[in-house]
Amino acid sequence: MPRRLSVTVEHFPLAKEFRIARGAKTEAVVVTCEIVDEYGRGWGECVPYARYGESVESVVAEIESIRAEIEGGASRDTLGRLLKPGAARNALDCALWDVEAKSTSRSVGAMICGETPRPIETAYTISLGEAGDMAAAARASGRGLLKVKVGTGNDLERIRAVHAAARGARLILDANEGWRAETIRQHMLAAAAAGAVLVEQPLPAGDDAILAEIPHPVPICADESVHATADLQSLVGRYDYVNVKLDKTGGLTEALRLVARARELGFGVMVGCMVGTSLAMAPAVLLAQTAEFADLDGPLLLKHDRRHGLTYAQTLVSPPARKFWG
């Protein structure tokens, strides 16, 4: 049976508006790749991200540009030479992992974890808003690890309000490049006073040299500043952690390399996500088995997830069932 590729654009409404420093959204728009061969179906999902110059149309076009190679039997290693890191490569890479698992009767978890993957704790995201609204959301969440969206000119009141309302939850403050050199010190001190465990991407990528010169009272994590393994060396001395997202690395294959190299360089690891369905989270849950932090709550922000998706119970997310992915 010849290999066949299909590409689909899908829309998943959010349970409520999701806002970060760069804007707001009310739905997750994802691109899904399905590869079918004699062994069965493999599938993968990506989320095109405008911040990285991507659109649904550009991602679909990238995938279609190598249809012949994929249907001709291209491997994951070949894929890495055909497409740059990004969303398009991620959907194809994850679909190829799923196909490989079906053809070998060995789960992706067994291939990359070396042991049975376990449920892991995931952060739950508090959307950017007025301080009182964010505090109310933190109080109602009932979660032990909160990722709090900040990134305005003055987030001091937001940080204090969420800390006071969070009932002892650990806080990750995610500025999405929204702070500036003249405000970062006061925000970092506020983060420390709130007992935050991590501050994520406080300054714009490419404008973060000051991070090597100022104290880190709370560890600082790179997100927009790191995409693939080659980016890591330039971050030494500026960041303490790196946020690994499959839509940035171009899939699980490169993400595994990035994590290994990050460990060699002394970085801590966070595994994150865009706002997507359980199909996007499934490989990331396996990647996150050894990470210090995981932020894989995308499906919790949707009105409806995919059928037979991941199981979320209190603060934990379980690895994917093989009938779903991997």
147 is catalytic: no
85 and 145, same domain (yes or no): no
Domain count for the chain? 2
- Selected residue with higher pLDDT from 21 and 267: 267
Mean local confidence (pLDDT), 34-44: 93
| Structural domain harbouring 91 | 4-109
In a domain, residue 150? The reply is: yes
* pLDDT greater than 90 at residue 105: no
CATH code, domain with 214: 3.20.20.120
Q: Mind listing the pLDDT tens digit for each residue in 134-185?
A: 999 999 999 999 999 999 999 999 999 999 999 999 999 999 999 999 999 9
Do residues 245 and 281 touch, judged by C-beta distance below 8 A?
no
149 and 239, same domain (yes or no): yes
149 is catalytic: yes
**Of 68, 88, 109, which residue constitutes the final position of a domain?**
109
99 and 157, same domain (yes or no): no
155 and 224, same domain (yes or no): yes
158 and 89, same domain (yes or no): no
Q: Mind listing the pLDDT tens digit for each residue in 187-208?
A: 999 999 999 999 999 999 999 9
**Of 89, 109, 129, which residue constitutes the final position of a domain?**
109
Note the pTM of the prediction, 2 decimals.
Answer: 0.96
Mean local confidence (pLDDT), 23-46: 95
40-46 sheet: strands from edge to edge = 4-20, 23-37, 40-46
CATH code, domain with 21: 3.30.390.10
263 and 154, same domain (yes or no): yes
Q: Which pLDDT score, from 0 to 100, does residue 103 have?
A: 87
Q: Which pLDDT score, from 0 to 100, does residue 265 have?
A: 98
125 and 67, same domain (yes or no): no
**Of 109, 140, 170, which residue constitutes the final position of a domain?**
109
In a domain, residue 323? The reply is: no
In a domain, residue 156? The reply is: yes
Q: Which pLDDT score, from 0 to 100, does residue 314 have?
A: 86
Q: Which pLDDT score, from 0 to 100, does residue 40 have?
A: 87
Q: Mind listing the pLDDT tens digit for each residue in 112-134?
A: 988 889 999 999 999 999 999 99
Q: Which pLDDT score, from 0 to 100, does residue 236 have?
A: 98
223 and 250, same domain (yes or no): yes
In a domain, residue 324? The reply is: no
In a domain, residue 326? The reply is: no
Mean local confidence (pLDDT), 200-227: 97
Residues above pLDDT 90, as percent of the chain: 94
168 and 85, same domain (yes or no): no
* pLDDT greater than 80 at residue 1: no
Which of 245, 248, 303, 323 is catalytic? The answer is 245
Q: Which pLDDT score, from 0 to 100, does residue 23 have?
A: 86
Do residues 38 and 1 touch, judged by C-beta distance below 8 A?
yes
Q: Which pLDDT score, from 0 to 100, does residue 217 have?
A: 97
Distance of CA 246 to the CA centre of its chain: 6
Residue 276: both structure tokens together: 């997507």
59 and 82, same domain (yes or no): yes
Which of 102, 147, 149, 248 is catalytic? The answer is 149
Mean residue pLDDT across the chain? 96
Q: Mind listing the pLDDT tens digit for each residue in 309-321?
A: 999 998 999 999 9
144 and 94, same domain (yes or no): no
